[in-house]
Amino acid sequence: MAYLLRRLLHGVMVLVGVSVLSFLFVQLAPGEFFSDMRLNPQISPETIASLRAQYGLDRSLPVRYVNWVRSVAKGEWGYSFAYGLPVSQVIWSRARNTLLLTVTAALLAWLISIPLGTYAAERRNRWGDRVTVAGSAVLLTVPDLLLALALLIFAIRTNAFAAGGMASTQFADLGTFAKVKDVAAHFTLPVTALVLGTLPIFFRHVRASMIEALALPSISAARGHGIPRRRILFRYALPAAANPLISLFGFSIASLLSASLLVEVVMSWPGMGPMLLEAILARDLYVVIGAVMLSTLFLVAGNFIADVLLYLSDPRIRQGAV
Amino acid sequence: MLAGFLAPYDPAEQDREHPFAPPTRVHFIDAEGKLHGWPFIYGLTPSPDNFAEYQEDRSRTFSVRPFVPGDNYSLLGFSLRRHLFGIDEPGRIFLLGTDGYGRDQFSRLLWGGRISLLAGLIAAALSLVLGMVVGMVSGYFGGFTDDALMRLAELFLAMPWLYLLFAVRAFLPLHISPTVAFFLLVAVIGTVGWARPARLIRGVVLSARERKYVLAARGFGATDFYLLRRHILPQTMGVFLTQAALLIPQYILAEVTLSFLGLGVGEPVPSWGNMLGSLQQYHILASYWWMLAPALVLVPVFWGYHVLADFLHERLEFGQ
């Protein structure tokens, strides 16, 4: 338990550090949301000054930081200038859409890569292995951007999938079942792009650690005892190979979040990507900080889940040996 | 480097008569079935009915000639106007078609590649040098310095990479000239990515520090700086080069991504990213496939760096 507590504390420390770091960056930033208003002759300098005072922009950095922490505690995460709403309200629906994408993509990618990696590891250097390894190498060199664009072209040309957005224009009139179907149709394309982008990385790691696990003496012994192949692979070899893979699972959240940022913009999925882009262009800094914090939170949460899984799966950690 | 020579046209030159012209077909056999010694092309006539539709004008041929004089460009400080190939006026050759302003995609691809590849290279060098300094200091001196630097590195690694990049970009000015934007972009990409190489190099330094010959040299009174430079630096070369081969393509992609989204190098300077930017409009994406060329060239470039990284990884890191 002490191990898990230590990991949790570490995660919290990271979040605090990231928030301090983002505020330091804000201080360095030239220009702010109200700079553009200065150019407008219809808005008097006094109005701008009072607006800045209202949002606390005239205070010193530590004061603003403390105010921000307070608003986080209240669940508001600061105030968005552009939307005129607390940041949490702006971000929340977006974050839900992003999570929907990344979590589905992560699960799918793992579901495909574990059997595929195991298959390749077992047939090491035979043609089945060669083909899958070559395929993953090809996918690895195709940038996410090209993948997303190519899928989009495919969708537009064939009309098989809904291209762009999250829902059709007549979405509000549909029944519950039709709504789910509609979202699923829009959702296929970005998820495919994300899965294809991350699959080769997962696949390579699964293959490498399975090759290592299959070389263990215990596996040879199990073979000698005549235990069936399938049972050896999934009951004995996979748990032995699981440790680095679970850690990778934590990190995979980060790479997926980054990838989905781009895919969302290309496919106009209403997630955190387009929102962040707009916020950057409008200098809506608290939204930017909120997005960075939230993505870090997802990452820390992913790592923590990985730690819990490690704790459950690896007796060495449970007994405090590592 | 050689973009100016290889490209037939200046990247900013617009041909208002030919927006979204498809790639020009290069022929060897003319309409009467006669074989020509040199490849030649036909002129394009805009279709009278529809925007951006063209027909080949078979009545007149333009030979593709080598080393023709054309627009001025500078190479190593010399101002030159010879191009590898070109055709006689008033014909125009568009090997990869044109964009919405009638600019030659092939020329822009070459010029843009210069920007994108250079951005990746400089940014990677910046990251590696930063990572190297931090890693060596951290690993060699240990103690409080090490702790502080590594906690900071963890913070940088804790944020999803693209979010971090975006955030840092968010805090910098938006309306700037392309040259400033280029250097800013390189600086941002380079400084954001120092943490991973720093950690890896720290690991190597930690083990190198305890080697017998390093301890011996220290016993002879070698200074810290001498030890770091003479004995520890060479040890880190394997990791350094492998990281370079991994970071460069990643940073090229970072430049492309940011410019694609309009946060990087801006028009009229071409970069692979901002050339792709217009594809955010679906009708361009669906109708004009040659606009995808900058994304397609990324594939062989990345493949090359992957092979290089694998090779360096095996030769240098495990070879020792």
CA–chain centroid gap for B109, Å, is 11
B158 chain-A contacts, CB cut-off 8 A: 14, 17-18, 296, 299-300
Distance, CA of B40 to CA of B30 (rounded, Å):
9
Residue B16 in this model has a pLDDT that exceeds 70: no
Q: Which residue has the higher pLDDT, A254 or A297?
A: A297
Mean pLDDT calculated for residue range B6-21 = 58
Q: pTM of this prediction?
A: 0.76
Name which residue leads in pLDDT, B61 or A140.
A140
Confidence grade of residue A145 (pLDDT, cut at 50, 70, 90) = confident
- From the list A112, A258, A113, A263, the residue with the least C-alpha distance to A191 is A263
Give the gyration radius of chain B's Cα atoms.
25
Domain annotation covers residue A64 = no
Residue B198 φ/ψ, nearest 5 degrees: -60, -45
- Tell me, yes or no, whether A270 lies in a domain: yes
Over residues A83-106, the mean pLDDT reads 81
Mind telling me how many Å the CA of A232 is from chain B's nearest CA?
31
Closest CA to B158 of A296, A294, A102: A296
Domain extent at residue A105: 94-281
Instruction: Classify residue A37: in a domain, yes or no.
Output: no
CATH code at A212? Answer: 1.10.3720.10
Please compute the mean of the pLDDT values over residues B293-316 and round it to a whole number.
78
- Answer yes or no: is A202 within a domain: yes
Instruction: Give chain B positions within 8 Å (CB) of A31.
Output: 173-174
Whether residue A248 lies inside any domain: the answer is: yes
What's the count of helices (H) and strands (E) in chain B, helices before strands?
12, 4
Q: What is the pLDDT of residues A3-14, one digit of tens each?
A: 788 888 888 888
Q: Which residue of B has its CA nearest to A274?
A: B261
In chain B, % of residues over pLDDT 70? 59
Residue of B110, B105, B242, B130 lying closest to B186 (CA atoms): B130
Are residues B174 and A145, on separate chains, in Cβ contact within 8 Å? no
Tell me which chain A residue has its CA closest to the CA of residue B303.
A141
Q: In this structure, is residue A109 part of a structural domain?
A: yes
pLDDT tops 60 at residue B1: no
Q: Pick from A14, A259, A295: which is nearest to B154 by CB?
A: A14
* pLDDT over 70 (residue B223): yes
Residue A5 CA, distance from chain mean position: 24
Residue of A nearest to B251 (CA): A143
Residue A214 located in a structural domain? yes
d(CA A79, CA A72): 10
pLDDT level of residue B45 (50, 70, 90 thresholds):
low
pLDDT at A191: 85
Banded pLDDT at B320 (limits 50, 70, 90): very low
B151, B157, B162: best to mutate for the A interface, most A CBs within 10 A: B162
By mean pLDDT, which of A117-121, B10-14, B233-237 is the weakest? B10-14
Put simply, the answer to whether B167 touches A152 (Cβ < 8 Å) is no
Asked if pLDDT for residue B148 goes beyond 60, the answer is yes
pLDDT for A322 beyond 50? no
- Number of structural domains found in chain A: 1
| Average pLDDT of the segment spanning B253-258 | 83
B35-39, B206-210, B216-220, B257-261: lowest mean pLDDT where?
B35-39
Q: Which own/partner contact pairs does A33-37 have at CB distance under 8 Å and 24+ positions apart? A: A33/A81, A33/A82, A33/A282, A33/A283, A33/A284, A33/A285, A34/A81, A35/A283
Interchain proximity B155–A152, CB inside 8 Å: no
Question: Mean pLDDT over all residues of chain A?
Answer: 77
ipTM over the 0.85 cut-off = no
Nearest to A146 among B159, B262, B296 (CB): B296
Q: Which residue has the higher pLDDT, B122 or B166?
A: B122
Question: What does B192-215 look like in DSSP terms, one character per residue?
Answer: HT-HHHHHHHHHHHHHHHTSHHHH
Cα-Cα end-to-end distance for chain B: 36
Structure confidence at residue B74 as a pLDDT band (50, 70, 90): low
Task: Name the A residues in 163-222 with CB < 8 Å from any B CB.
Answer: 163-164
Mean pLDDT of B144-173: 77
Residue among B159, B170, B292 whose CB faces A280 most closely: B170
Q: Considering only A42-51, B62-71, B131-140, which range has the smallest mean pLDDT?
A: B62-71
Distance from CA of A257 to the nearest CA of B (A): 7
- Report CB contact under 8 Å: A140, B306: yes
- A40 within domain boundaries: no
Mean predicted confidence (pLDDT) in B186-208: 82
- H helices present in A123-216, as ranges: 127-141, 144-158, 176-214
